[in-house]
Chain A
Amino acid sequence: MTTAVADAHEAHDHHGPATGIRRWLFTTNHKDIGTMYLVFSLIMFFIGGAMALVIRSELAIPGLQFVHPEFFNQMTTMHALIMVFGAVMPAFVGLANWMIPMQIGGPDMALPRMNNWSFWILPVAFGILLSTLFMPGGAPASGWTMYPPLVLQTGDAFPFLIFSVHLMGLSSIMGAINIIVTIINMRTPEMTLIRMPMFVWTWLITAYLLLAVMPVLAGAVTMLLTDQFFGTSFFLAAGGGDPVMFQHIFWFFGHPEVYIMILPAFGVVSEIIPTFSRKPLFGHDAMVYATASIAFLSFIVWSHHMFTVGMPLSAQLFFMFATMLIAVPTGVKVFNWVATMWRGAMSFETPMLFALAFIFLFTIGGFSGLMLAIVPSDIQYHDSYFVVAHFHYVLVPGSIFAIMAAAYYWLPKWTGHYYDETAGKVHFWLSTIFVNLTFFPMHFLGLAGMPRRIPDYSTQFADFNLVASIGAMGFGLSQLIFVYVLLTAKKGAQATAGVWDGSKGLEWTVPSPAPYHTFDEPVHVDRSVAFPKDPNV
């Protein structure tokens, strides 16, 4: 199966990477492209994080301090767009590029040239989006949801926003196609679908979600574009259009998008917990079915974002119960992670610490999600800081902690050296303390009635806002430790092939650092490299 690529490489005498800028511009190597995705997402993480700090600085005390309300709205919009499409999604695609071929025993991604394109579209897209900050009228300020008619009041930035979202979508769709084609066609012959590691499984399901919903977002923003410039009235009430239809279409994309950002995180945690518990993953097959169930349910819950817009009682009931149903497969996952650790010989290196914090803190985000799913409660919580607390618990100690866990987990495999474990642990503890200091008080603010997306507030909200702002500054500064860990990543002791004591799987059979080309020939899977599902192969 994998000899096709091996033959092609033989013609070039197993060349290594090109040198200089050409290596990065023209590379088709999955490891190079994975590295570029990860570096890009880190840069976007800091740009989006700086915008978050502008928001939290303004909100630290009541009154208007630093920025105009218009610019504040631009910051909330840009922060969300950059973090969702520029930081979290590319980080997981980077991890997929690095690890999926190595975990399935394939030589590279199935469509390497398209892989290069998928990445290089992204800097262009975000260059365009960031350039809107300097345009007349400023950057988009209508929120990442881009609801009409508000978004149609955007100044010169509007067509640039639409174009950049199209480019981001194109990049994601191409990436998703590549991942599906790779997993379907490039596995080493002995690896059946059900035996695949959980990270590969979660990414396969995520890629199908991406393929189904990114074109929907593209369709929605195309219609916005024609409403603005070509005289159509898809969403303009004055012309007979329906603005609420945009909300339905957007959230048909938007809710699966949430799972696009969390399913690969489930995969990462499902890799790390068994390694540091020195036990195979409990209920591998159940985890696969739970992931698929979550993905399916994500398509039939979108209107829970719109309960206050108004809909028939039967629709409210359907979307409420369908949403609450997601807790069942998610509960299966949390149970299985805990059961994996049960009576395991656990150790607590940095990746494990981040994975454990993920389980605990993501579950808090899940519980507040259940509260929001209940229609009568949601009418109280809607558009309040409770919602902000909820989705930040899911995305920061959820998705971003999983990305951090993955980076620490696979960093020795990428660099060939152990990172600074002490610095990693300091990074973990500071991040965990400050992330809770930032987002937990927001629950109380929301329950007390503080609306989201405002630059000023009543004085009764002052104390919790100050705490949240101090937490945000601390969290932002803590991430500089991660940069230190990355900059010194090659200075540690030489890593072994297996890196971790309990590691299992094909990626741990190649030397550290992983060679530029791996698995040119189909590999045999024996007891020593057993997959997480089969400890007794």
Chain B
Amino acid sequence: MSERDEETRRRIRRTTIILVIVALAFYVGFILSGVIRS
């Protein structure tokens, strides 16, 4: 596998991890906001 392919895979992995973290943050964040308000 070429260096360029490796770089593409790295970028795909990195973007995916960031987006998963964002989704989890919204999920947990809104439940926490409910906990704080109730």
- A-side residues, CB < 8 A to B, are 1, 3-4, 7, 110-111, 173, 176-177, 180-181, 184-186, 211-216, 218-220, 222-223, 232-234, 239-242, 245, 249
Question: Interface readout for B22-38 with A: 1 if CB under 8 Å, 0 if not?
Answer: 11111111110011011
Q: Closest CB-CB distance, A189 to chain B, in whole Å?
A: 10
Chain B CB count within 10 A is highest, among A4, A233, A239, for A4
- B-side residues, CB < 8 A to A, are 1-2, 4-5, 8-9, 11-12, 15-16, 19-20, 22-31, 34-35, 37-38
Q: Closest CB-CB distance, B17 to chain A, in whole Å?
A: 10
Given the interface pairs A7-B1, A232-B38, the reply to whether A219 lies near B30 with Cβ below 8 Å is: yes
Contact A181 B5 (CB under 8 A): no
Contact B5 A3 (CB under 8 A): yes
Chain A neighbourhood of B29, CB < 8 A = 219
Given contact pairs A1-B4, A3-B2, A219-B31, a sample of 9 additional A-B residue pairs in the complex whose CB atoms are under 8 Å apart: A4-B4, A4-B8, A181-B12, A181-B16, A212-B22, A215-B27, A219-B27, A219-B29, A222-B27
Given the interface pairs A215-B23, A215-B24, A232-B38, the reply to whether A3 lies near B4 with Cβ below 8 Å is: yes
Contact B31 A177 (CB under 8 A): no
Given the interface pairs A4-B5, A223-B31, the reply to whether A185 lies near B11 with Cβ below 8 Å is: yes
Chain B neighbourhood of A245, CB < 8 A = 34, 37-38
Chain B residues touching A, majority SS: helix
Q: How far is the CA of A527 from the CA of B16 in the complex (A)?
A: 34
- Pairs across A and B, CB under 8 Å, 10 listed: A111-B16, A177-B16, A177-B23, A215-B30, A216-B27, A219-B30, A232-B38, A233-B38, A242-B37, A245-B38
Contact B5 A220 (CB under 8 A): no
Q: Closest CB-CB distance, B4 to chain A, in whole Å?
A: 7
Given the interface pairs A3-B4, A4-B5, the reply to whether A211 lies near B19 with Cβ below 8 Å is: yes
Contact A249 B20 (CB under 8 A): no
Of the candidates A4, A181, A211, which one forms a contact with B23 in the assembled complex, judged by CB atoms under 8 Å apart? Answer: A211
Contact B34 A185 (CB under 8 A): no
Chain A CB count within 10 A is highest, among B4, B22, B35, for B22
Given the interface pairs A4-B9, A177-B19, the reply to whether A222 lies near B38 with Cβ below 8 Å is: no
Q: How far is the CA of A462 from the CA of B25 in the complex (A)?
A: 50
Of the candidates B5, B23, B28, B30, which one forms a contact with A173 in the assembled complex, judged by CB atoms under 8 Å apart? Answer: B23
Q: How far is the CA of A234 from the CA of B32 in the complex (A)?
A: 11
Contact B2 A180 (CB under 8 A): no
Q: Closest CB-CB distance, B5 to chain A, in whole Å?
A: 4
Chain B neighbourhood of A239, CB < 8 A = 38
Q: Closest CB-CB distance, B23 to chain A, in whole Å?
A: 5
Of the candidates B1, B9, B20, B34, which one forms a contact with A177 in the assembled complex, judged by CB atoms under 8 Å apart? Answer: B20
With CB as the reference atom, state the residue of chain B lying closest to A169: B27
Of the candidates B1, B2, B5, B38, which one forms a contact with A241 in the assembled complex, judged by CB atoms under 8 Å apart? Answer: B38
